[in-house]
Amino acid sequence: MSTLSRVLFLCVANSARSQMAEGLARVRFGDCVVVRSAGSRPGAVNPHAIAVMAEVGIDISSHYSKHVDTVDVTTVDTIVTLCAEEVCPVVSASVRRLAWPLPDPAGYPGSEIDQRARFRTVRDEIARRLPELDHV
The catalytic residue positions are 11, 83, 88
Distances in Å between the Cα of 79 and the Cα atoms of 8, 62, 107, 114 are 5, 23, 23, 30
* 123 touches 46 (CB < 8 A): no
CA pair distance 50, 2, nearest whole angstrom: 30
Burial bucket for residue 52 (CB in 10 Å: 0-12, 13-18, 19+): buried
Phi, psi for 37 (deg, rounded to 5): -145, 155
Phi, psi for 133 (deg, rounded to 5): -70, -20
Cα distance from N-terminal residue to C-terminal residue, the chain: 8
